[in-house]
Amino acid sequence: MRKLTLFIVSDSVGETADLVAKAAACQFRQDLETVSMKRFSHVEDESQLREIAYLAKQQQAVIIYTLVKSSMREKLKQECQLNGLNCIDLLGPIVEGIGNSLGEKPKEEPGLVRQLDEDYFKKIEAIEFAVKYDDGRDPRGVMKADIVLVGVSRTSKTPLSQYLAHRSFKVANVPLVPEVDPPEELYNIDPKKCFGLVISPNVLNSIRKERLIVLGLKDDANYARIERIKQELDHFEKVVSKIGCKVIDVSNRAVEETANLILSELPNRRL
């Protein structure tokens, strides 16, 4: 049985072509030990294409390639024709078809799909982090977070954490109540990554009353009383003063507006 030799040529890592080549090779050689696959990654120079074509001729290889630059695709096609090689362009026809459909020209920048994948997984990781370290469930998250939010109950800590997580920031939030000592971790982090969320007592009183009604409870519970709210806010002021972090008034701010304020204050902000 003739051995199948495949050359995978890419201007990026070459994972896409590698997977497709394996899927196709399995239709002819179910035992991949009879298949030789050699990957040529980050090919960006035409001289490299000539060398690859020369090697492919020596080894009777089939060249499978994903090159985003049309000039490189054309050059490799010419080299294969000159050497009597069978070559398969996986990306070119798809890019050209989409371009014709949109009436637009492609960027022709290698590695964009990998960049998108990395951004996607960073976002997923940040979202999972925000869920895991929401509402002070595990104070260890305070040390690991990019951003730490502190505030009394109903100051939008959780929705703000999720919003920032969708921007790929790892966020931990910690509720502050007078009866519970804040975790020591709050006093050991860089105060520049910590943000206190404060709110008007009257606004918070209204929010908490609505919350109690939604839960089917009376709106005159201690949780919503103005005296209790002022007590909590006094405790909040003491804690954030000790941390030395920036305080943002969220009384009349949307989550998006608060998030933009936080991002503008972050050291080494990631755009």
Domain housing 73: 4-110
User: Does one domain contain both 138 and 171?
Assistant: yes
Q: Which of 72, 89, 110 is the last residue in one of the domains?
A: 110
What CATH number corresponds to the domain at position 122? 3.40.50
For residue 9, the model assigns a pLDDT of: 97
User: Does one domain contain both 105 and 227?
Assistant: no
Cite the annotated binding site for ADP by residue number.
151-158
User: Does one domain contain both 132 and 171?
Assistant: yes
Cite the annotated binding site by residue number.
151-158
pLDDT above 90 as % of the chain = 85
Residue 270 maps to a domain: no
Please state the rounded mean pLDDT for residues 175-197: 96
Mean pLDDT of the chain: 93
Q: Using alpha carbons, select from 121, 119, 150, 145 the residue that is nearest to residue 135.
A: 150
Residue 271 maps to a domain: no
User: Does one domain contain both 101 and 219?
Assistant: no
pLDDT tens-place string over residues 71-119: 999 999 999 999 999 999 999 999 999 999 999 999 999 888 777 778 8
Q: Which residue has the tokens 């080494």?
A: 268
CA dist., res. 191 & res. 212, Å (int):
34
Q: Which of 83, 110, 137 is the last residue in one of the domains?
A: 110
Domains in the chain: how many in total?
Answer: 2
Q: How many CA atoms lie within 13 A of 67 on its CB side?
A: 24
